Chain A
Amino acid sequence: MSKFLPKLMTATALAATLSIPAFAEGFGLGRPALPEEITAWNLDISPNGDGLPVGSGSVEDGEMIFSENCAVCHGEFAEGVDNWPKLAGGDGTLADKDPLKTVGSYWPYLSTVYDYVRRSMPFGNAQTMSDDDVYAITAYILYSNYIVEDDFVLSNENFLDVDMPNADGFIVDDRPSSEYTIFTEENACYENCKDNVEITKRATVLDVTPEEEGTDQAAAEPVAEAAPVEVAVAEEAPVEAPTDVVSAAFDADLAAKGETVFKKCKACHQTGEGATNKTGPVLNGVFMAKVAHVDGFKYSNDMLGAHEAGAVWDEAHLAEFLAKPKSVYAKTKMTFAGLKKDSEIAAVIEYLKSVSQ
């Protein structure tokens, strides 16, 4: 039954698997997919350009759009921030120790870039870009890899003309010939398989294994006891939440809703115990704190100015910022476009109060 790899299949096995029985008349379940529905979801783009929308975008526009939407994680020059993916560089490094795999050095098809950016990016705000913007971003990524010049305009017309440097760098899985013939029963040894054995590497020398917090807590105070409480907060509105620990105006029900909405923010912001600055600053204690109050986070000059001027994250200020961040602080590093519903804004503010105790 080892017929997973099409190349290895016998003709008979293939025919058996691929034949559709004559009695397959169907169950009459489901309903026809409407053309508009297929258009809405059928977004994937193939290497031959199938699925590319009509449109275009320039390197010049792409630089601006990239800076606003992508640079916070991928860097102004697509060089990558922290652990986020590097999109440029690495040319000629694939055979080196620790190769740098980027769009320029590794990706075989340009269609993959357009397809991925359009469907999955920006992280936490996916599918918000226009088709032309995606062309522009794709053009800018090509430019940052020295694949096109700065006056280049990418469109559905010239898309397939772009040569990807590593287009020929892939082979189809060859394990059947390169490995399965070697790692066999015939070659398996049972006695006197080697003269001596030495330890050559030890994990404890490297010491990169995380501390087992669960174990520690289990010894002192079992986590299983605490867990149900957390679940209740996350999944049901804690109607009976102890209101005495928070200010009188605090609405625990609303805060629970806000915690759900806050998932949109979690891509960049951490809260709670052990929270650290990530792409965005820690938000513990943000409610009623001075703007740009977190030590060690590199705020935009806009925010630092507000800090100097004594601006405070009160309810009103948080509300206007969450609605449209860039209308309040034009240079803010927060790429999030803003929360559309007032109810969501109110809920998130209530949640931020709960982490500001």
Chain B
Amino acid sequence: MSDTQKDISPSRRAFLRGAAATGVGLAAGSASAQGTPDPLITEKQDWAMTTGAGVDETPYGLPIKYEGDVIRRNVPWLTADPISSINFTPIHALDGTITPQGCAFERHHSGAIELKKEDYRLMINGLVDQPLVFTYADLERFPRENRTFFLECAANTGMEWAGAQLNGAQFTHGMIHNMEYSGVSLRTLLEEAGLTAAGDLSDKWVYVEGADASSNGRSIPMEKALDDVMVAFKANGEALRMEHGYPVRLVVPGWEGNMWVKWLRRIEVTAQAVEGREETSKYTDTLADGTSRKWTWVMDAKSVVTSPSPQSPIAHGTGPLVITGLAWSGRGAITGVDVSKDGGKTWEKARLAKPGEKMALTRFYLDTDWDGSEMLLQSRAHDETGYVQPTKAQLREVRGENSVYHNNCIQTWHVKANGEAENVEVSS
């Protein structure tokens, strides 16, 4: 526990800063100085006397400098290089449910490309009545829809299969974001090309492919393609960011992020799954006996406490404490979240900030009075299908220990008496 490495760990540093600023262990409410007037109130401050920045200071604004640590971060040892790699959303520092594009995680297989709208082409070919090519301007003329969905990488929490590894919600659960997309339904585009030539649609597929050098492609059953898949060009009201597939990406609600093809350039109606690299050698799940599951598209219900957590320790001492986190399910709406403070011995129901929305993040809160004792904090999601988020032990019992993807287990944070938190695994 207490060795030199520990002393330089991020949570330790973050915690110490918090402690220095507010005085951990003292009663909550450090701004109320007993008897001594607060100079921030009694003395005239610069910002109350001089003028601030003008309106055009930042034509497109970034967060104020004091929020400079709320950024995406990566784990260099995970991948061979930063071009075909991934980073993580700072979920420990965010609230609400919408992820700002600027800190929403990135995953590229051949780097993020700069593709102009003017150079953008989308082809629909294969078993369609009339193969078509659309420009970006064409896409904007189809009836549009606005829908909010989470995108979770199938590998989110994958590093935790073998045990507690990464010390922070950003790293254990940050391969996720949640945005409001504007675009056209894939069904509309497929109907424009005509599906009569495809005959019986129940056994047909749609192969989708990106324009970048990785040529990432995935096969989607026609039934899903005609259900709720979107061809999106805006997120959270503005153009997609380069790193999220500008100018056009696919949105596949509730299904693993790899299928949400970025820089979407081609949609092919096929009679079979293409079984490309990303749907055979990757994004398949090997079980204990060596056989592997394929076509494991849907992301099951999952949740995590985002604060307190290793990067967001309790810095205010005992008293009122907001425990908060995120829950989501690829199979529908979240109907409830339970929180345990004792590592799963007892559970209480958290409060949902809003009723759960299908395949979108749900924010939960547990408003509590912390007595300063240690906690083993966990959260557990319920979705509308009656599914309840399992423990890691339950998942291992079914799948063994060689899985990488689809780890939706219950996460445990060990919150210590000093407010510091650590990623731990507990006995079942």
User: How many angstroms from the CA of A278 to the CA of B81 in the assembled complex?
Assistant: 8
B364 at the A/B interface (Cβ < 8 Å)? no
User: How many angstroms from the CA of A107 to the CA of B265 in the assembled complex?
Assistant: 26
User: How many angstroms from the CA of A120 to the CA of B209 in the assembled complex?
Assistant: 12
**When the two chains form their complex, are residues A169 and B291 in contact, meaning their CB atoms are under 8 A apart?**
yes
User: How many angstroms from the CA of A196 to the CA of B346 in the assembled complex?
Assistant: 11
**When the two chains form their complex, are residues A210 and B75 in contact, meaning their CB atoms are under 8 A apart?**
yes
Determine the interface band of chain B, counting residues with CB < 8 A from chain A.
Answer: 35 or more
Contact of A199 among B66, B288, B426 (CB under 8 A): B426
**When the two chains form their complex, are residues A106 and B227 in contact, meaning their CB atoms are under 8 A apart?**
no
Contacts of A83 in B (CB 8 A): 77, 79-81
**When the two chains form their complex, are residues B133 and A47 in contact, meaning their CB atoms are under 8 A apart?**
no
**When the two chains form their complex, are residues A120 and B426 in contact, meaning their CB atoms are under 8 A apart?**
no
B45 at the A/B interface (Cβ < 8 Å)? no
**When the two chains form their complex, are residues B266 and A263 in contact, meaning their CB atoms are under 8 A apart?**
no
**When the two chains form their complex, are residues A44 and B423 in contact, meaning their CB atoms are under 8 A apart?**
no
| Known A173-B295, A204-B422; contact A109-B275, beta-carbon cutoff 8 A | yes
**When the two chains form their complex, are residues A1 and B213 in contact, meaning their CB atoms are under 8 A apart?**
no
Contacts of A33 in B (CB 8 A): 123-125, 131-133
Contact of A224 among B67, B111, B126, B135 (CB under 8 A): B67
Contacts of B11 in A (CB 8 A): 204
**When the two chains form their complex, are residues A30 and B300 in contact, meaning their CB atoms are under 8 A apart?**
no
CB A28 to nearest CB in B, in angstroms, measures 8
Contact of A198 among B273, B290, B331, B427 (CB under 8 A): B427
User: How many angstroms from the CA of A306 to the CA of B246 in the assembled complex?
Assistant: 44
CB B161 to nearest CB in A, in angstroms, measures 11
**When the two chains form their complex, are residues B132 and A124 in contact, meaning their CB atoms are under 8 A apart?**
no
CB A17 to nearest CB in B, in angstroms, measures 5
Contact of A9 among B8, B207, B223 (CB under 8 A): B223
Contacts of B330 in A (CB 8 A): 4
Name the residue on B nearest A94 (C-beta).
B290
A341 at the A/B interface (Cβ < 8 Å)? no
| Known A112-B275, A212-B311; contact A24-B191, beta-carbon cutoff 8 A | yes
Query: Which of the segments A62-70, A182-190, A242-250, A297-305 contacts the partner chain?
Result: A182-190
- Interface residues of chain B, those whose CB is within 8 Å of chain A, are 1, 5-6, 8-11, 13-14, 17, 58, 62-69, 71, 73-77, 79-84, 109-111, 114, 123-126, 130-135, 138, 141-142, 163-168, 171, 191-192, 194-195, 201-202, 207, 209, 213-217, 221-224, 226-227, 254-255, 265-266, 268, 270, 272-277, 280-281, 284, 286, 288-298, 300, 310-311, 330-332, 338, 342-348, 358, 376, 380, 382, 385-390, 394, 398, 401-402, 414, 422-428
- Interface residues of chain A, those whose CB is within 8 Å of chain B, are 1-6, 9, 14, 17-18, 20, 24, 26-27, 29-33, 37-38, 41-48, 50, 73, 82-84, 94-95, 97-99, 101, 103, 106-109, 111-112, 115-116, 119-120, 123-124, 126-127, 169-175, 178-180, 182-185, 187-194, 196-204, 206-212, 214-219, 222-225, 227-228, 260, 263, 266-268, 278-279
